Protein backbone atom coordinates (compact mmCIF):
# COMPACT_ATOMS: atom_id res chain seq x y z
CA UNK A 1 0.00 0.00 0.00
CA UNK A 2 2.79 2.41 0.88
CA UNK A 3 4.42 1.84 -2.52
CA UNK A 4 1.33 3.32 -4.22
CA UNK A 5 1.52 6.60 -2.26
CA UNK A 6 3.08 9.69 -3.75
CA UNK A 7 4.19 12.65 -1.63
CA UNK A 8 2.00 15.71 -1.84
CA UNK A 9 3.23 18.15 -4.45
CA UNK A 10 3.97 21.78 -3.64
CA UNK A 11 0.68 23.59 -3.24
CA UNK A 12 -1.35 20.40 -3.66
CA UNK A 13 -4.32 20.17 -1.31
CA UNK A 14 -6.55 17.13 -1.73
CA UNK A 15 -10.24 17.72 -1.09
CA UNK A 16 -10.21 16.03 2.36
CA UNK A 17 -7.68 18.64 3.52
CA UNK A 18 -9.88 21.47 2.25
CA UNK A 19 -13.04 20.03 3.81
CA UNK A 20 -11.25 19.26 7.10
CA UNK A 21 -9.84 22.78 7.37
CA UNK A 22 -13.25 24.27 6.62
CA UNK A 23 -14.90 22.00 9.18
CA UNK A 24 -12.43 22.98 11.92
CA UNK A 25 -12.88 26.66 11.01
CA UNK A 26 -16.67 26.32 11.19
CA UNK A 27 -16.58 24.50 14.53
CA UNK A 28 -14.45 27.25 16.10
CA UNK A 29 -16.42 30.07 14.49
CA UNK A 30 -19.84 28.71 15.45
CA UNK A 31 -18.62 28.12 19.00
CA UNK A 32 -17.56 31.77 19.33
CA UNK A 33 -20.66 33.18 17.65
CA UNK A 34 -23.00 31.16 19.86
CA UNK A 35 -21.11 32.16 22.99
CA UNK A 36 -21.01 35.88 22.20
CA UNK A 37 -24.65 35.82 21.08
CA UNK A 38 -25.46 34.75 24.63
CA UNK A 39 -27.17 31.47 23.85
CA UNK A 40 -28.31 29.48 26.85
CA UNK A 41 -26.60 26.25 25.81
CA UNK A 42 -25.49 24.31 28.84
CA UNK A 43 -22.93 21.57 29.23
CA UNK A 44 -23.54 19.31 32.21
CA UNK A 45 -26.07 21.79 33.63
CA UNK A 46 -23.69 24.79 33.55
CA UNK A 47 -22.97 27.37 30.89
CA UNK A 48 -19.35 27.03 29.70
CA UNK A 49 -16.98 29.75 30.88
CA UNK A 50 -15.68 32.37 28.50
CA UNK A 51 -12.09 31.26 28.88
CA UNK A 52 -12.79 27.63 27.97
CA UNK A 53 -14.90 28.67 24.98
CA UNK A 54 -12.22 31.01 23.66
CA UNK A 55 -9.46 28.43 24.20
CA UNK A 56 -11.49 25.75 22.38
CA UNK A 57 -12.24 28.09 19.48
CA UNK A 58 -8.57 29.09 19.31
CA UNK A 59 -7.56 25.42 19.18
CA UNK A 60 -10.03 24.85 16.35
CA UNK A 61 -8.64 27.83 14.43
CA UNK A 62 -5.12 26.53 15.01
CA UNK A 63 -6.20 23.10 13.79
CA UNK A 64 -7.82 24.65 10.70
CA UNK A 65 -4.67 26.60 9.86
CA UNK A 66 -2.41 23.63 10.46
CA UNK A 67 -4.61 21.38 8.35
CA UNK A 68 -4.60 23.92 5.53
CA UNK A 69 -0.80 24.06 5.73
CA UNK A 70 -0.70 20.22 5.69
CA UNK A 71 0.92 19.84 9.10
CA UNK A 72 0.94 16.27 10.37
CA UNK A 73 -0.06 17.15 13.94
CA UNK A 74 -3.05 19.20 12.82
CA UNK A 75 -4.41 16.54 10.48
CA UNK A 76 -3.92 13.90 13.18
CA UNK A 77 -5.76 16.10 15.71
CA UNK A 78 -8.59 16.64 13.25
CA UNK A 79 -8.76 12.89 12.70
CA UNK A 80 -9.03 12.34 16.46
CA UNK A 81 -11.88 14.86 16.60
CA UNK A 82 -13.62 13.11 13.69
CA UNK A 83 -13.22 9.77 15.50
CA UNK A 84 -14.98 11.27 18.54
CA UNK A 85 -17.75 12.62 16.30
CA UNK A 86 -18.14 9.17 14.73
CA UNK A 87 -18.38 7.61 18.17
CA UNK A 88 -20.95 10.19 19.26
CA UNK A 89 -23.13 9.60 16.20
CA UNK A 90 -22.83 5.82 16.59
CA UNK A 91 -24.13 6.11 20.16
CA UNK A 92 -26.84 8.53 18.97
CA UNK A 93 -27.82 5.92 16.39
CA UNK A 94 -28.34 3.36 19.14
CA UNK A 95 -30.40 5.80 21.22
CA UNK A 96 -32.43 7.25 18.30
CA UNK A 97 -36.13 7.37 19.20
CA UNK A 98 -37.50 8.94 16.01
CA UNK A 99 -36.96 8.75 12.28
CA UNK A 100 -35.42 12.25 12.29
CA UNK A 101 -32.96 11.28 15.05
CA UNK A 102 -32.07 8.13 13.13
CA UNK A 103 -31.51 10.11 9.90
CA UNK A 104 -29.34 12.72 11.65
CA UNK A 105 -27.25 10.00 13.31
CA UNK A 106 -26.75 8.15 10.00
CA UNK A 107 -25.84 11.37 8.15
CA UNK A 108 -23.41 12.45 10.88
CA UNK A 109 -21.82 9.01 11.01
CA UNK A 110 -21.42 8.86 7.23
CA UNK A 111 -19.94 12.36 6.99
CA UNK A 112 -17.56 12.11 9.96
CA UNK A 113 -16.55 8.52 9.23
CA UNK A 114 -16.16 9.14 5.51
CA UNK A 115 -13.93 12.18 6.01
CA UNK A 116 -11.89 10.30 8.62
CA UNK A 117 -11.39 7.43 6.17
CA UNK A 118 -10.27 9.80 3.39
CA UNK A 119 -7.86 11.64 5.67
CA UNK A 120 -6.00 8.40 6.46
CA UNK A 121 -4.56 8.26 2.93
CA UNK A 122 -3.84 11.99 2.90
CA UNK A 123 -1.97 11.64 6.21
CA UNK A 124 0.10 8.87 4.65
CA UNK A 125 0.94 11.14 1.73
CA UNK A 126 1.94 13.94 4.11
CA UNK A 127 4.38 11.56 5.85
CA UNK A 128 6.02 10.40 2.63
CA UNK A 129 9.67 11.45 2.35
CA UNK A 130 10.40 13.95 -0.37
CA UNK A 131 13.09 12.63 -2.63
CA UNK A 132 15.36 15.05 -4.52
CA UNK A 133 14.55 15.54 -8.19
CA UNK A 134 16.38 13.24 -10.54
Q: For the chain, which residues make up each domain, given as ranges?
A: 7-127
Which DSSP helix (H) or strand (E) runs through 109?
helix 99-127
Identify the residue with better confidence: 133 or 104. 104
**Burial category of 72 from C-beta neighbours within 10 Å (exposed 0-12, middle 13-18, buried 19 and up):** exposed
**pLDDT, tens digit (0-9, with 9 covering 90-100), for 62-82:** 999 999 999 999 999 999 999
- The mean per-residue pLDDT over the stretch 9-24 comes to 93
Q: What is the pTM for the complete model shown?
A: 0.83
The CB density around residue 22, as the number of other CB atoms within 10 Å, is 13
Residues in the chain, total? 134
Q: What is the pLDDT of residues 17-48, one digit of tens each?
A: 999 999 999 999 999 998 888 877 666 667 77
**Residue 18 confidence (pLDDT):** 96
Amino acid sequence: MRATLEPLGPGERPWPIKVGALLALLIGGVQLVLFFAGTKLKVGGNRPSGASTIVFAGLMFLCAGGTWLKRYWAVLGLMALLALFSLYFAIALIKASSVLGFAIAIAGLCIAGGLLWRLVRVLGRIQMPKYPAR
